[in-house]
Each structure stands twice: as structure tokens, then as C-alpha cells.
């Protein structure tokens, strides 16, 4: 049986030579995700209620994480919702959230525990949503995800995705992410971004303080790949999408073209 060769970012299958994404585990970050990001991400997800309400066939959310966006998509819509989440730690929070939401939600949402590239769901959606995922995919996987999304959507369907950064930071930079009080403790994270060749390494250090003293410290590292406008245009055209504009600042509206439109768009 072939074993995978890991370099921390991707793994190469010795049988077929394909470089696949090393899916981040979120085994540390899942615990802190909603505490530190929940308020902001829930607020911005509300902007997607209108496109979700307009869906007539189905919705796919890829990289649903803990379900902060899923919750809005499900409550605003009345169609089947397929959520894709490969990381078990994030999925545990997502499933708990869905279970607490009641029978209407449980009857309409299907959770797929695989990477988006492996989701076979031909023409079952008119809306796909992907927030805070694309930048974390190595280029080969990112291109594969555009093509997968095109298969899930009907021609004319809409893909909403936040635009990855255009450039690497010129030098390492650090910032504090969130600061939330829970009982007598304060939760926060320090994020350090290190440019490394074609990508940026994101080191998260989670800190829990009690009366000013650090009582817990936990770390997890992620990676992001920037994408120029030219690369983005080329990848979208190859996968059969047209950039229509922005749904909200930084969230792109990508229209799935039909076959004839793809040919015209490429020429
Ligand atoms: C930063 S979280 C964003 C979660 C959620 N979209 C949100 O905005 O709160 C990125 C999520 O993408 C998932 N992910 C990473 N690679 C993926 C892939 N190839 N297919 C689907 N999901 C993926 C991760 O497991 C993680 O839960």
C-alpha cells in the first residue's frame, strides 16, 4: 500500500505522483474558532442571507468550518444544503451546531466529511459559498476546487468566494486576533505571518489569561497562497466562471457559464 510523502504543505502519492493538499487539522484552533471569530464572521455571513433565500435548487458550502456561515445559509433558505468539511475537529463543532438547530435544519443539511475536490454532486446547486478557504489551498488544489464547484452548479449558478490576498507580506508581521472575556478568563490569539517562497506561513498562538497570568498556551500553523488578478481571471475562465463583481466588499460573485458561454468567454 503506498504511503504519502509529507512536506508539511502537501503530500505526494508515490503511486501516481500527484501532489495533494495536506488538509489542515484545526485540532487546536477548533476550540478557539467561534470564541475569537464568531461575532465578526456571523455578522458578515448575514450579508449572504439574500442569495441563500434566492436559491431554488440547492446550496453547497465548501469548507464550512464550525458552521458560522452554514447557520445563515440554512435559516435563510428552503432548499437542500450540502456542507463540505474535511477537518474532524471543525466538523465536531459544526455537527453540534446543526443538532442544536432542530428538525428542519437536520432534515435539509447534509455534511460531507471530505475535501471539496472529492465531492461528487453533479448539478445539484444554484448557489455555492466558500469563505476563508480558497487562500489556504495550494495552487494545484485551488484550481481543482474551481473545477469541482463548476460541476456542482447548474449553468447560471452563483459561486460566492472571498478574494485571496494578491501579494505576500514584504516582511514578517504580527497582530492580535480577538480578545474575549469568558468568566474570569480572557481569550486571545497572536497571529504571526511569515512570507516563505510562494506562500505565507500563519502561526497562531492562542493564549488564555487569568488575572493577567497566562494559564494556557496552544499553537497551530496554517499556510496561504496569494493570487494575482491575472491568475485568478485565468483560473476562473478555465473552470467556466465569469467574475460578475462583488457581493460585499472582498466577496466575489462568480457566475457559472454554460458550455457555449465558456467557448465565447475563452476566445
Ligand atoms: C478558516 S476555516 C473557514 C470556515 C468557514 N468557512 C468560516 O468562514 O468560518 C477553513 C475551513 O476550510 C476547510 N478546508 C480546508 N481545505 C479544504 C478542502 N480542500 N475542501 C473543503 N474544505 C477545506 C478547513 O477544514 C476549515 O474548516
Cell of 149: 464547484
Nearest CA to ligand 1 atom 18: 115
Ligand 1 center to 263 CA (angstroms): 31
- Shared domain for 47 and 129, answered yes or no, is yes
Beta pairing class for 125-130 and 59-62: parallel
Question: Given the C-alpha cell 465569469, which residue does it identify?
Answer: 242
pTM, full prediction: 0.91
Q: Do 212 and 101 share a structural domain?
A: no
What integer pLDDT is reported at residue 23 of this predicted model?
Answer: 81
Nearest CA to ligand 1 atom 26: 65
Decide whether any atom of ligand 1 lies within 6 Å of the 60 Cβ: no
| Set of cell numbers at residue 215 | 494559564
What is the pLDDT, as a whole number, of residue 267? 52
User: Which CATH number is 14's domain given?
Assistant: 3.40.50.150
Ligand 1 within 6 A of CB of 149:
no
Question: SS3 of 220, please?
Answer: strand
Please indicate, yes or no, if residue 262 is contained in any of the structural domains.
Answer: no
Are 9 and 129 in a shared domain? yes
Q: Do the domain assignments include residue 136?
A: yes
Are both 220 and 235 inside the same structural domain?
A: no
pLDDT by 10-residue block (mean), the chain, 267 residues? 39 50 89 97 97 98 98 97 98 97 92 94 96 97 96 97 96 96 98 96 98 97 97 97 96 89 56
Our count of domains for the chain comes to 2
| CATH number assigned to the domain comprising residue 215 | 2.20.130.10
The residue segments making up the domain with residue 182 are 173-224
Same domain, 10 and 113: yes
Question: Within a domain: residue 220?
Answer: yes
Does residue 69 have its Cβ closer than 6 Å to ligand 1?
yes
Assess whether 33 and 141 both reside in one domain. Answer: yes
Amino acid at each position: 500500500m503506498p504511503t504519502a510523502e509529507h512536506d508539511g504543505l502537501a503530500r505526494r502519492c508515490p503511486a501516481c505522483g500527484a501532489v495533494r493538499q495536506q488538509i489542515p487539522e484545526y485540532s487546536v484552533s477548533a476550540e478557539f474558532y467561534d470564541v475569537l471569530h464568531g461575532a465578526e464572521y456571523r455578522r458578515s455571513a448575514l450579508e449572504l442571507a439574500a442569495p441563500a433565500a434566492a436559491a431554488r435548487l440547492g446550496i453547497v458550502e465548501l469548507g464550512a468550518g464550525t458552521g458560522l456561515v452554514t447557520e445563515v445559509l440554512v435559516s435563510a433558505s428552503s432548499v437542500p444544503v450540502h456542507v463540505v468539511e474535511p477537518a474532524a475537529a471543525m466538523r465536531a463543532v459544526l455537527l453540534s451546531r446543526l443538532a442544536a438547530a432542530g428538525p428542519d435544519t437536520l432534515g435539509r443539511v447534509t455534511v460531507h466529511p471530505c475535501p471539496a475536490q472529492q465531492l461528487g454532486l453533479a448539478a445539484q446547486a444554484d448557489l455555492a459559498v466558500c469563505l476563508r478557504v480558497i487562500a489556504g489551498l495550494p495552487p494545484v488544489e485551488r484550481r481543482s476546487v474551481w473545477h469541482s464547484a463548476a460541476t456542482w452548479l447548474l449553468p447560471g449558478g452563483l459561486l460566492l468566494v472571498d478574494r485571496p490576498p494578491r501579494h505576500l507580506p514584504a516582511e514578517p508581521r504580527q497582530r492580535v486576533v480577538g480578545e474575549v472575556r469568558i468568566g474570569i478568563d480572557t481569550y486571545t490569539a497572536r497571529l504571526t505571518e511569515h512570507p516563505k517562497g510562494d506562500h505565507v506561513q500563519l502561526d497562531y498562538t492562542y493564549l488564555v489569561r487569568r488575572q493577567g497570568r497566562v494559564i494556557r498556551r496552544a499553537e497551530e500553523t496554517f499556510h496561504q497562497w496569494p493570487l494575482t488578478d491575472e491568475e485568478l481571471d485565468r483560473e476562473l475562465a478555465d473552470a467556466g466562471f465569469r467574475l460578475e463583481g462583488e457581493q460585499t466588499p472582498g466577496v466575489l460573485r462568480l457566475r457559472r457559464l454554460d458550455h457555449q458561454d465558456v467557448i465565447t468567454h475563452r476566445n
